[in-house]
Structure formats: structure tokens, C-alpha cells
């Protein structure tokens, strides 16, 4: 051993011992002396965020959270400072309150940290202002104007399905529904498709990379402060290293082109530009790009997941498919079914609600933070700063609300209007309160038209009958791995 090592060895040991004692004290304090120490839950959750990280990596946080609630009841401590609430009253008491959103959401500032969109704005007041600024773009009266362009995208989609069918090639709906979702988002947001449908491929690996981004988001949301140095570092954008650069580039180019062109459609961006002209004091210019990017991040794989859930379950429930097809066939719908027509098809709407319930695309606890002075939820007080989260999957599997068969796909549960109204109060696939999904009108249009058109026009069968799909839940639960063959059943 050298002289230096002799000199420093006792100090190194001392520092090591000090760190150990420090970590042990944090463990003891979090585990036994926190204001939520009495709440049951998994061991790792009682002193760290490791339980959430482990299950984000394993990919089934939703199943684990349901199991924990079935074991422990309405409150489960899933993190050293986070309680998951599984009771439907939490919809009103937590999600519909004005509590700030959890810091976890800051991770959604993309393409970089300069762009705080409505999703990543955690302060309730500022969030509500941002929501008001962009609301006209999402209003049903605006979205419906885009219907002809949604129709155009659906026609390209069917043309591509026909080509695959004639070549006897399988259709990977995880890819194709995503192409459809992205191209519709481009049309509606800035009047420009990304080109996924026309090219029939994942341009720039944007969709594959979005999956990788899902894992990053689920884990790094707990360490959001490091996000600024990683993916949200403007240098990464500058060097073109973002994993979904094709998407950002297309959005940037479309927003930029808009400033030089005044002969444009009344799309979302146009609504936002008009809003900014009216309220320059409360809306910054960069909010427009931020909102466009948020849309593209939020509005494609969620729609794809729901469409997949619907078709995957229809293939497993022949009687349900038959009943749906009868309703659609007798309705004598337009070549591309109109939104108005599809809203009258009660069984179709029941199937869509059931798909949103049984395989809810956002499969993550939606976190809110107990405000100054704390808050009482379901009769229990929570200190200021405690994170309270509500996972839609947990609520959607409550048997006393949705029935003993809550774990099964059964659209008929929505056919009794009285029961349906009651269940709808607990259907939070689009969230609830000030953070709820502004894209729900567009999503409803896409889901209704696409399902009606495909069920009417094609026979679909899995390449390997009965093979189970795969999915991992990060923020969203987007399935894959269930290739199908399609054949025309109705001539165009
Ligand atoms: C079936 C399809 C969809 C589902 C299930 C869905 C669900 C959700 C949920 C659960 C949230 C978050 C609520 C929260 O954090 O508390 C959300 C937020 C959001 N969604 Fe959707 N969404 C869908 C489609 C869309 C579409 C098509 C768009 C764009 C037009 C969109 C844009 C957004 C945006 C911008 C946010 C952030 C809202 C905010 O934080 O205020 N979504 N969505």
C-alpha cells in the first residue's frame, strides 16, 4: 500500500460509513415516520420510487396496481411520497379538484424544456390558462370541419389494406392504426399529413422510437429535474438527436410554413394563432408549437391502442362482432361513414366505450399534489406535498361499478341506458377535471368512423388464430404482435 492510500484510507472508510448511516436514516424516516407510513402497499414503495420503476421496466404497472388495490383496499402506498387511490370518489375529490399536477408531468416538455405545453404545465392556474388558450382548436365545432380530411386519410388507409390483401400479406394493425392516427393528427393540427399512410412505413422510425420514449418518460418522470440535461436539453434538438425527430421536424416545418402563408384551412394552429392575436398578453408564441407537438405525442398511439383493443376483442367474441356488423350493415352508411351517422349506432358506441374501459390507453396513475394545508380525500387527511394518484385501470376494473364480469370484454353492459349513465360517471379513459383530454371529440370521431368502415368493409382474421397480443404499459398501453389477414367483404 502506498503512503497516500495509508493517509486517506481512514477518511474513505469514514465517508463510506457516513453515507450508509445517511441512507439508513432516510429509509427509517420514510418507512416509519412519514405521514403516510400507515398506508399499506408494496415494500419497495414504502421508502422509494423503486416499485414504480421496476414495474415500468417490467411493463405491467396497471396489473400490479389493480392487484395491490384488491389486496389492500382504496389506499395503496406505491411510493415513499405517493398514494394510489382506487375508489371512484377520487375522480371528484382528486382529479376534478384544483390540485397541482405531480412534477412527473414535467417530463412531457418536448421537443425541449423551452416548450412547456398544457400536459407538462403542473401549476393548476397556469395550466387552466394554457387550456383556455388552445381550447378553440379542440372544440367539436372546429374538429368537425376536419371531417373531409379524416375521410381522405381513411380512404388511403383502405386502399393500402386492399393492396396488402391482394398480395396476401399480413396487416400489423399496431403499425397501421398508428400511421392513421399520426396522419390524422397532422391533418387536423396543421393541415399536413406526415406521410405514414401513403408510404406505408414507419418513416424515420418515429413510431418505434415513440415506444422507447414511453419507457424513458415513465422512469425519468421521477427524476424530471435531470430531463433538462437529457432529452429536453436544447442541444439534443439542435444536434437532431431526438428519437422522434421526423415528427418534431414535420411539426416545426408546418408551423414555420404557416407564418409565410395566409391562404390556409381553419385547422387547430389557425385557431391558436387567432387566439394569440386576441390575447397576446396571456399566450406566448411558442405555446403554439408546444401544443402542436403535445397533440402529436398524445393523439396517435392512444387512438391506435383503442382501435386495436376493439378489433382484437371483436375477433375473440364472434357474437359481439355479428351483432355489431348487423347494426352497421342495416344502417346503410355513406362510403366513408359520417360522424353524425355513427353516433346513432348504439351498439357501436357501446363497443367503443367497452374498448376504452377494458384496455384503457392511458394506464398510469394520474398524479396530483396535496395543496398547502393538506387535503381530505375519502375522509382521510393527507399532508401538503403528498402525491395522490388515480389509475384509470384500477377504477375501470371495480366490480361493484362495472359488474362481476368487469375483467371481461362485454359491450352489452352499456346497452341499458340507466346502468350506462351510472357507469359513465366512472369511465375516465379521457381523464377528468382540468387535465382531461382535450382531444376527446376528435378521438371519438376517429374511433367511430374507422370502426364502422372497417367492420363493414373487411373480414379480418389473425394470422395465428387465437394468438395473444403483447403490450407493455408505460404512460400508455399500446399493443403489438397480432398480425392479421384482411379480405374485402364489400366492394367500394
Ligand atoms: C382514445 C384516444 C385518447 C385517449 C384515451 C386519451 C386520453 C387522455 C388522458 C387520460 C389524458 C391525461 C389526463 C391527465 O393527465 O390527467 C389526456 C391528455 C391529453 N390528450 Fe388525450 N387521449 C386520446 C386522444 C387524444 C387526441 C386525439 C388528442 C389530440 C387531438 C389528445 C390530446 C391530448 C392532450 C393535448 C392532453 C394534455 C391535456 C392536459 O394536460 O390538459 N388526446 N388524454
Tell whether 330 is covered by a domain. yes
Tell whether 235 is covered by a domain. yes
**Ligand 1 neighbourhood includes 181 CB (under 6 angstroms):** no
Is the omega angle on the peptide bond into residue 486 within 30 degrees of 0, that is, cis? Answer: no
**Ligand 1 neighbourhood includes 296 CB (under 6 angstroms):** no
**Ligand 1 neighbourhood includes 435 CB (under 6 angstroms):** yes
Closest atom, ligand 1, to C-alpha of 361:
5
Side-chain-side CA neighbours of residue 119 (13 Å): 25
Q: What separation in Å is there between the alpha carbon of 429 and the centre of ligand 1?
A: 9
For 461, the grid coordinates are 382474421
**Ligand 1 neighbourhood includes 180 CB (under 6 angstroms):** no
Whether 199 shows a pLDDT value over 90: the answer reads: yes
Q: What is the pLDDT of residue 194?
A: 86
> 194-199, long-range: CB within 8 Å, 24+ apart, which pairs?
194/246, 194/247, 194/250, 197/153, 197/156, 197/157, 197/160, 198/156
Among protein residues, the one whose CA lies closest to atom 37 of ligand 1: 119
Q: Is 321 helix (H, G, I), strand (E, B) or coil?
A: helix
> How do residues 409-435 score in pLDDT, each as one tens digit?
999 999 999 999 999 999 999 999 999
Mutate which of 128, 437, 477 for ligand 1? The one with the most ligand atoms within 8 Å of its CB, which is 437
Q: Which domain holds residue 123?
A: 49-488
Closest atom, ligand 1, to C-alpha of 295:
29
**Ligand 1 neighbourhood includes 317 CB (under 6 angstroms):** no
> How do residues 213-233 score in pLDDT, each as one tens digit?
788 888 888 998 888 777 777
Q: What separation in Å is there between the alpha carbon of 232 and the centre of ligand 1?
A: 21
Closest atom, ligand 1, to C-alpha of 433:
16
In the chain, how many H helices and how many E strands?
Answer: 23, 9
Residue 468 marked ligand-binding? no
**Ligand 1 neighbourhood includes 79 CB (under 6 angstroms):** no
Tell whether 20 is covered by a domain. no
CATH number at residue 229: 1.10.630.10
**Ligand 1 neighbourhood includes 213 CB (under 6 angstroms):** no
For residue 263, which phi and psi values (nearest 5 degrees)? -95, 80
For 165, the grid coordinates are 390483401
Residue among 361, 342, 374 at smallest CA distance from 97: 374
> How do residues 103-156 score in pLDDT, each as one tens digit?
999 988 877 777 888 899 999 999 999 999 999 999 999 999 999 999 999 999
Tell whether 457 is covered by a domain. yes
Q: Which one-letter DSSP state was computed for residue 222? A: G
Q: What separation in Å is there between the alpha carbon of 138 and the centre of ligand 1?
A: 11
**Ligand 1 neighbourhood includes 294 CB (under 6 angstroms):** yes
Among protein residues, the one whose CA lies closest to atom 14 of ligand 1: 435
Closest atom, ligand 1, to C-alpha of 443:
27
**Ligand 1 neighbourhood includes 362 CB (under 6 angstroms):** yes
Q: Is 79 helix (H, G, I), strand (E, B) or coil?
A: strand
Tell whether 18 is covered by a domain. no
Average pLDDT over residues 15-31: 87
Q: What separation in Å is there between the alpha carbon of 290 and the centre of ligand 1?
A: 14
Q: What is the pLDDT of residue 240?
A: 58
Q: What is the pLDDT of residue 191?
A: 87
Would you say how long the chain is, in residues?
492
Is the omega angle on the peptide bond into residue 111 within 30 degrees of 0, that is, cis? Answer: yes
Whether 367 shows a pLDDT value over 80: the answer reads: yes
**Ligand 1 neighbourhood includes 120 CB (under 6 angstroms):** no
**Ligand 1 neighbourhood includes 431 CB (under 6 angstroms):** yes
Average pLDDT over residues 272-281: 92
Average pLDDT over residues 258-279: 84
N-term to C-term CA, the chain: 85
Whether 19 shows a pLDDT value over 90: the answer reads: no
With a CB cutoff of 8 Å and minimum separation 6, the contacts of 486 are: 161, 164, 165, 171, 458, 459, 460
Least confident of 118-122, 285-289, 486-490: 285-289
Q: Which one-letter DSSP state was computed for residue 81? A: T
Tell whether 5 is covered by a domain. no
Mutate which of 109, 124, 142, 302 for ligand 1? The one with the most ligand atoms within 8 Å of its CB, which is 302
Tell whether 467 is covered by a domain. yes
Instruction: Tell how strand 82-85 and strand 75-79 pair up.
Output: antiparallel
Q: Which residue has the higher pLDDT, 65 or 207?
A: 65
With a CB cutoff of 8 Å and minimum separation 6, the contacts of 238 are: none
Task: Please state, rounded to an integer, the average pLDDT across all residues of the chain.
Answer: 91
**Ligand 1 neighbourhood includes 349 CB (under 6 angstroms):** no
Whether 297 shows a pLDDT value over 90: the answer reads: no
Q: What separation in Å is there between the alpha carbon of 197 and the centre of ligand 1?
A: 23
**Ligand 1 neighbourhood includes 310 CB (under 6 angstroms):** no
Whether 450 shows a pLDDT value over 70: the answer reads: yes
How many structural domains does the chain have? 1
Average pLDDT over residues 285-291: 87
Amino acid at each position: 500500500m502506498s503512503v497516500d492510500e495509508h493517509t486517506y484510507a481512514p477518511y474513505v472508510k469514514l465517508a463510506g460509513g457516513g453515507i450508509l448511516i445517511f441512507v439508513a436514516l432516510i429509509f427509517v424516516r420514510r418507512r416509519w415516520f412519514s405521514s403516510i407510513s400507515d398506508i399499506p402497499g408494496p415494500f419497495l414503495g414504502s421508502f422509494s420510487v423503486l416499485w414504480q420503476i421496476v414495474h415500468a421496466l417490467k411493463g405491467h404497472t396497471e396489473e400490479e396496481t389493480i392487484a395491490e388495490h384488491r389486496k389492500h383496499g382504496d389506499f395503496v402506498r406505491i411510493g415513499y411520497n405517493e398514494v394510489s387511490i382506487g375508489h371512484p370518489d377520487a375522480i371528484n375529490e382528486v382529479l376534478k379538484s384544483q390540485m397541482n399536477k405531480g412534477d412527473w408531468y414535467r417530463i412531457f416538455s418536448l421537443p425541449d424544456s423551452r416548450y412547456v405545453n398544457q400536459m407538462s404545465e403542473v401549476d393548476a392556474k397556469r395550466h387552466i390558462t394554457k387550456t383556455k388558450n388552445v381550447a378553440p382548436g379542440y372544440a367539436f365545432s372546429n374538429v368537425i370541419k376536419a371531417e373531409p380530411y379524416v375521410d381522405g386519410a381513411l380512404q388511403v388507409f383502405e386502399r393500402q389494406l386492399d393492396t396488402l390483401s391482394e398480395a396476401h400479406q399480413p396487416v400489423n394493425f399496431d403499425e397501421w392504426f398508428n400511421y392513421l392516427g399520426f396522419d390524422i393528427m397532422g391533418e387536423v393540427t396543421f393541415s399536413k399529413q406526415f406521410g405514414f399512410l401513403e408510404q406505408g412505413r414507419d418513416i424515420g422510425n418515429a413510431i418505434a422510437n415513440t415506444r422507447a420514449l414511453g419507457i424513458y418518460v415513465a422512469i425519468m418522470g421521477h427524476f424530471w429535474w435531470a430531463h433538462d440535461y437529457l432529452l429536453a436539453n436544447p442541444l439534443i434538438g439542435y444536434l437532431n438527436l431526438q428519437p422522434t425527430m421526423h415528427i418534431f421536424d414535420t411539426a416545426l416545418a408546418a408551423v414555420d410554413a404557416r407564418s409565410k402563408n395566409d391562404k390556409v384551412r381553419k385547422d387547430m394552429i389557425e385557431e391558436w394563432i387567432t387566439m394569440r392575436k386576441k390575447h397576446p398578453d396571456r399566450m406566448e408564441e411558442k405555446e403554439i408549437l408546444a401544443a402542436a407537438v403535445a397533440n402529436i405525442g398524445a393523439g396517435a398511439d392512444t387512438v391506435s391502442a383503442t382501435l386495436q383493443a376493439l378489433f382484437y376483442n371483436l375477433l375473440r367474441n364472434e357474437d359481439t362482432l355479428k351483432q355489431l356488423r348487423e347494426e352497421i350493415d342495416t344502417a346503410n352508411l355513406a362510403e366513408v361513414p359520417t360522424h353524425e351517422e355513427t353516433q346513432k349506432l348504439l351498439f357501436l358506441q357501446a363497443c367503443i366505450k367497452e374498448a376504452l374501459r377494458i384496455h384503457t390507453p392511458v394506464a398510469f396513475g394520474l398524479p396530483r399534489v396535496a395543496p398547502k394545508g393538506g387535503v381530505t380525500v375519502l375522509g382521510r387527511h393527507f399532508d401538503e406535498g403528498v402525491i395522490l394518484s388515480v389509475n384509470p385501470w384500477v377504477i375501470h376494473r371495480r366490480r361493484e361499478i362495472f359488474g362481476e364480469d368487469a375483467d371481461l370484454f362485454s359491450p352489452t353492459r352499456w346497452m341499458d341506458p340507466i346502468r350506462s349513465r351510472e357507469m359513465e360517471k366512472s369511465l375516465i379513459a379521457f381523464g377528468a377535471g382540468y387535465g382531461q383530454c382535450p382531444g376527446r371529440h376528435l378521438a371519438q370521431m376517429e374511433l367511430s368512423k374507422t370502426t364502422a368502415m372497417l367492420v363493414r368493409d373487411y373480414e379480418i382474421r389473425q394470422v395465428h388464430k387465437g394468438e395473444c397480443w403483447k403490450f407493455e404499459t408505460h404512460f400508455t398501453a399500446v399493443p403489438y404482435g397480432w398480425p392479421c389477414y384482411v379480405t374485402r367483404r364489400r366492394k367500394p
